[in-house]
Structure 1
Amino acid sequence: MTIGKNILLLGLWLSCGVLHAQYYFAGELGAENANKEVYLSLIEDFRKSSRPYADQFVSRTRSDSLGRFEFRGNMLNISNRIYSIHLDGCASESLENGHSATQCDQIQSINFIASNQDTLYFPSSFAGQIFCTIEAANPNAADLLSVEEERLFMAQDFAEVQSPASLKLRSEHWYDKWKAMGLASGEPLTELYIYTFLSERSSLTREHYLDKLQTDTYFQGLLERLQLKYPEASFTELYARELQADQAMLMGDADLLPWPTLLLAGLLLLSLLLNAGLYRGLRKAKTNSTPITDKLTSQERRIAEAILSDATNKEIAQQLFISHSTVKTHINNLYSKVGVSNREELKKQLKL
């Protein structure tokens, strides 16, 4: 399809969207992806933006004999939200049973920003690649695509890190770059998307984020921008809770932490154990055992934490800026050290 024809079709779809005040998302997947399941998801929980989740699905369609698809309707939010469209290469039955969370490696997807009034077009590239371009009137529609492109450059940059000093310099450089990019977008959702991977607990950027949280007002400013533009949104509340928890952790402010009741319950339980004569046995068992995490390297601990949060190998590689094969090697080492043979057994042992 020529560029001129794309523009003409886009113009017709845009006018259609304005007249009917409904969303219209369409695109091309290529003939090789004819008659495939395509899903539209709403991402309200920004911690679940890296892959499809069944509980986020809004609509499902099937590509036609030429690999074209479309979604249309009038049920989306009138203000911007983060959405995802993904092509599923696995069986639809297994997808609905939850395979997309950890198992299916045949998913191609794109995250974007849109509202109920928007018309978006996802053309295939000249090389036959899909989900690489977005044509839309919404100025922020392709923001997340640009963010993901920059993340690839960041991953390449961090792959060359060989010392703490090098990591610090690169972290500072990329923090400034992400901050400028987010502010320039004028869209708090774009900033929130960037925050998501900068603050990820198992990411190499987590420590630098915490440092900046103490010295820079940027993240507090982001909260104010979210509250101003999206005051009732669940992602605004989630961000506020995360920010408060991180600030409380850094400040050591017990009043902000939701665990006093748990602490009192723990003290009561300890008292009961003492009265029952069990404390001595528990203490002996604890003395004679070595915590599993003490056997692990720092990188293995990061990967173990990521596995506990149900991250896929692909997500772990993105978070730690390492290759997919390196992730597999570390996980095999984890299995050997912990004495397990799969992820579920590993998670059970790590939670003990």
Structure 2
Amino acid sequence: MRKVILLFFLLYSAYSQAQYSFSGFINPDEWQNSVYLSIVEDYRKMSGVYSEQIIAKTTANETGFFEFSGNMLDNVNRIYRIHIDKCPESQQGVNHFNGHCSDSEELLFIAKNTDTLKLPFSFGNQIFCKIESSNPKSSVFLKIDSLKNDMSFAYSGV
């Protein structure tokens, strides 16, 4: 009986350790090494970066690889952002307070605590243009941005 209970707790603990992993590459020659992970709780603050949204910061290595991992995210789908910028470290607090850095790249995506997300380089070493994820909803914002670009291109021809 004790062995059955012990086996049950071991199996339960193995499955209860939900852990996310978001990784990707940046061009270290072009961008600063600091990469930020934010949660977007207010839809009015989807564009721009605000200090109250930042939940993690990591540093890309010399090849440009970065990774966020852990088990601190919600177990339901939420909107997250990964962003990088060229603003000096001394001005990061000001830029993140007012939500603006003139030279930055960001990616909005949907994820939960059990998701794996990879952001490889795409054509021409472009960053944040492709998502490989265990969650099929992750790339919905990329699809929306692509549709907006197609619509603006079509409108400019009219």
TM-score bracket, normalised by the shorter chain, equals: 0.7 to 0.9
Please tell me whether residue 48 in structure 1 is matched to residue 39 in structure 2.
no
For residues 96 and 54 of structure 2, the distance between their equivalents in structure 1, rounded to whole angstroms, comes to 14
For residues 141 and 103 of structure 1, the distance between their equivalents in structure 2, rounded to whole angstroms, comes to 24
- The RMSD of aligned alpha carbons is 2.1
1:220-299 equivalence runs, <5 A: none
Paired AA for residue 84 in structure 1: R
1:55-204 equivalence runs, <5 A: 55-99=52-96, 101=98, 103-160=100-157
1:322-341 equivalence runs, <5 A: none
SS in 2 for 1:24: strand
Higher relative contact order (CA 8 A, sep 6+): 2
Q: Which runs of 4+ in 1 moved over 6 A?
A: none
> Which protein has the bigger strand share?
2
Per the normalisation by structure 2, the TM-score is 0.82
Identical pairs, percent: 39
Describe the shift of the 1:21–1:103 C-alpha distance in structure 2 as closer, same or farther (beyond 3 A): closer
For residues 153 and 100 of structure 1, the distance between their equivalents in structure 2, rounded to whole angstroms, comes to 33
CA apart distance, 1:116: 0.6
Per the normalisation by structure 1, the TM-score is 0.38
CA apart distance, 1:92: 2.7
CA apart distance, 1:65: 0.5
For residues 59 and 30 of structure 2, the distance between their equivalents in structure 1, rounded to whole angstroms, comes to 10
For residues 19 and 99 of structure 1, the distance between their equivalents in structure 2, rounded to whole angstroms, comes to 35
Q: Give the conservation status (yes or no) of the 8 Å contact 1:34–1:66.
A: no
For residues 106 and 64 of structure 2, the distance between their equivalents in structure 1, rounded to whole angstroms, comes to 15
Deviation by residue 1:67-118 (Cα, 9 ceiling, x = unmatched): 1100011111100000000012112332222357464221111100000111
Describe the shift of the 1:133–1:83 C-alpha distance in structure 2 as closer, same or farther (beyond 3 A): same
Describe the shift of the 1:34–1:89 C-alpha distance in structure 2 as closer, same or farther (beyond 3 A): closer
Q: Give the conservation status (yes or no) of the 8 Å contact 1:54–1:95.
A: no
Deviation by residue 1:155-207 (Cα, 9 ceiling, x = unmatched): 2233356xxxxxxxxxxxxxxxxxxxxxxxxxxxxxxxxxxxxxxxxxxxxxx
Greater C-alpha radius of gyration? 1
SS in 1 for 2:107: strand
**For residue 27 of structure 1, what is the aligned residue in structure 2?**
24
Q: Which runs of 5+ in 2 are unaligned?
A: 1-14
Q: Which runs of 5+ in 1 are unaligned?
A: 1-17, 162-352
